[in-house]
Each structure stands twice: as C-alpha cells, then as structure tokens.
Structure 1
Amino acid sequence: MRTEEEQVEALKNWWKENGKSLVIAIAIALSGVFGWKTWQQKQHNDAEAASVAYQNLIDAVEIGVSQSSADELSTSQHLADQLKTEHESTEYARFAALLMAKVAVQQEKYDVALAELDWILNHNPTEEMRQIAYMRKARIYQATDEFEKGLEALGNVTAGEFQSSANELKGDLLRSAGRMTEARAAYQKALSESSQVRPLLTIKLEDLAVSNEG
C-alpha cells in the first residue's frame, strides 16, 4: 500500500498527464448543459413570437378578405414573408405559407399559390403538411387545366387518411381530362377507401355513369 505522500504524488502525476483533458471534458459537458438550456429557451421564445406573428397574419387576412382591401392583403403578404424568414424552423411558418396559398387561389393568383406550397415542401414539413400541400397543388392544376401536373402531384399523396380524398380528386382530374373510365375507377376506389358517407362523391360516380350511357 502506498503512503499518503506517494498517493499525493501519484495524484499529481495523474493530474499532470490527464488534468488538461479533464478540464476540457468538464467544460464541454457544462457548455452542453447550458447550451441545451439556452437552445430550449430560444426555441420557446421563437415559438411564442411566431405564434403572435401568425395571429397577426390571420387578423390581417380576415380584414383584407372581408373588406376586399388590397392594402390589408399586401400587409398580409408582408407579415407572412417576415414570419417565414424570421421563424423559418417553426410550424407557424408553414401554416403562414398555407394560408397565403389559399388567399392567392381566391384571387386566382395560381403561380403565387404554387410558390407558397413549394416553399412548404422545401422546408421540412411534417408528413401531414406535405400531403396537404400536394393535394392543394393538384387542385390548383385542375383550376388551370393542367391535369397531368395535377395527377403527378397526387402521386405524392400516400398517407392512408388522405387516400379517399386524393382518389376523388384524381377522379375529378381524369374526368376533366376526358378519361372517363379511369375517372370512374378512381371514384369507386375513393368510395371503397372512405369510412364515411360521401353523398357528393356518390353523385359524381352516378353522373359519370349516366353521361356514359347517354
């Protein structure tokens, strides 16, 4: 057994050899703890600020739409762009883009709407948001008579809860393109995938059958 002096000397030697590395390791560990807390606080603050900005955007859009105010709608676009720039990593930024895409469609500014939806798709959306963005792109392409592009967009809709709606929209696109047999098959598939009563979808399918008979 070593004497106390020998133990002290051994500790000195160990510290001489390993002390610097230990200090660095402790510093890294502490910076990690404080860094994590700082990051968490930043995320919290960012989310709160984004939430307020998004509510301001909603208010501006509601005023702009209800009063047909070009100034308010211009303000809405500015607020949305600011939110997307300053709070890009938050879900509120993607909600802002989705809202402005809807406003653009109402104004028949389809290129603007598509750009907003593409922004969502290029900024790490949740799977649900991704599916919604592609569905809305398909509807825009239907409005612009770009049926093949619409069908291509729908090819990216794969989540089960969206399948019935996606196939109904696929039927609409195919019908608009004059591909009636394929449209009927899409409507039938949409009905089979739905767990709810879909009277409008049923009417579409019946109308298609009647038009074919005629």
Structure 2
Amino acid sequence: MELYDTEEQQVEAIKDWWKENGKAVIFGAVIGLGGLFGWRYYQDSAIQAREAASESYTSAISVLDAKGADAQADIQSFIDSNSDAEYSVLAAMQLAKAQVEAGNLDEALKQLEWAKAATKDAALSPLLAYRVARIKAEQGNFDAALTELSAIPDESWKGRVAELRGDISLRKGDSDAAYSAYSEAQQAADASRTLQIKLDDLAK
C-alpha cells in the first residue's frame, strides 16, 4: 500500500481512482439495486398471485359444495385458468369426488387422470393413482386397476394398495389371491380395521 505524505495527495489519489473506476462502481450499484428491487417485485407478485388463486379456489369450492356435480362448468373454468397452480389439481380432485357421488365415473376418471399428470406434489401422486385405480375397479376394468396400483411404490400406502388389490382379486373370483393380498395388507403400518373381517369371511 502506498503511503501518502499529505492529505492533498490522498485526495488526489481518490480522485484519480474515481475517474478510472467510478462508472463501473455506479453501473454495478445500479445493477445490484435493480436486481434487488426486481427480485422483491417478483416475490410480491408471486405472493399476490398465490393469494388470488387461493381466493378463487375457495370461491370455486363453495360453488361446488352448493351445486355438486352441476358445478362442473364453473370448476372446469377455474382449473383451466389456474392449470399451472396446484390449486387446479385440488379442484379437479374435489370435482371428481362430486362426480363419483353423482355416478359420473367416466367424468371423474378424466379429472383424476388429468390431476395425476399435472400435480407437482409428490404426496398427492399416490393418492391420485389410488383413486384412479378405485374408479377403474368400479367400472369393471380390473386389470387396468391392478396396473395402476402396481405403480404406487410408497411404503406408507402399502396396506391400502394391498387391500384394494385383494378387493379387486375377490371381484375377479380369485379368492386365493384376495386372501394373500389381505394378509399382506394386514402386516403393513397403514392396515385397516376391516382386514380381519375380510380374512375371516374368506376362511369360512
């Protein structure tokens, strides 16, 4: 580091440095502040968008609660307008539930299959696959339902998947496969209380 004999020399050195580097410093400061304010603007916009989507979702579900499956057009409009948000997946799931209750299994299956393909939430994926399998089983498409179940690897779903596999096997007339599936389900952490009854019925 250079040593300066007087304050005047220090001032002159600062002036010279500023002449050489001042523009770069100002440019860097502008870019830095611009980036900071831009990031804050982006965050604020993202928060506002999430809040707006949340309010729209709440409103759409209120309509669904009031009208049931007759609210399909309203809910579909919400889904189409928010297809890049997870709220659209939740809305599709709620609409599918109403359609199942109304006996519209084909429409419910369409909603669930769309939601399964659209969701980015790993926790929702097995739930959606499970519901798709249940509807396919209700439609009598047993093999497709079993294929859907085989794609759920989550250990936390092992009992429910095995039990539904047993239910499907029973409906196919394969009691041995059903008993085996129920026995497997009974060993899982998420085993249901009805499994022993199902096993007892098969043992009679």
**Normalized against structure 1, the TM-score is what?**
0.79
Gaps of 5+ in 1: 66-72
Indicate how the Cα distance of structure 1 residues 79 and 38 shifts in structure 2: closer, same or farther if over 3 A, else same: farther
Structure 1 runs (4+) greater than 6 angstroms displaced: none
Gaps of 5+ in 2: none
Aligned counterpart, 2:57:
54
Is 1:13–2:20 an aligned residue pair? yes
| CA displacement, residues 20-52 of structure 1 (integer Å, 9 cap, x when unaligned) | 8x61x4444333322332232223222322232
- State which structure, 1 or 2, has the greater radius of gyration over its C-alpha atoms: 2
| CA displacement, residues 144-199 of structure 1 (integer Å, 9 cap, x when unaligned) | 1111111111122222322211111111112222332222111111111146661x
Aligned residue identity for 1:145: G
Q: 1:25-36 counterparts in 2 under 5 A?
A: 25-36=28-39
Q: Is the 8 A contact 1:57 1:79 kept in 2?
A: yes
Q: Is the 8 A contact 2:96 2:111 kept in 1?
A: yes
Is 1:201–2:191 an aligned residue pair? no
Give me the whole-angstrom Cα distance separating, in 1, the residues matched to 2:18 and 2:138: 79
Aligned residue identity for 1:35: G
Q: Is the 8 A contact 2:159 2:188 kept in 1?
A: yes
Is 1:64–2:71 an aligned residue pair? no
Identity percentage of aligned residues: 27
**Normalized against structure 2, the TM-score is what?**
0.83
Q: How many residues align?
A: 197
| CA displacement, residues 47-85 of structure 1 (integer Å, 9 cap, x when unaligned) | 3222322222232222224xxxxxxx44x2233223223
Aligned residue identity for 1:86: S
Aligned residue identity for 1:208: L
Give me the whole-angstrom Cα distance separating, in 2, the residues matched to 1:31 and 1:81: 39
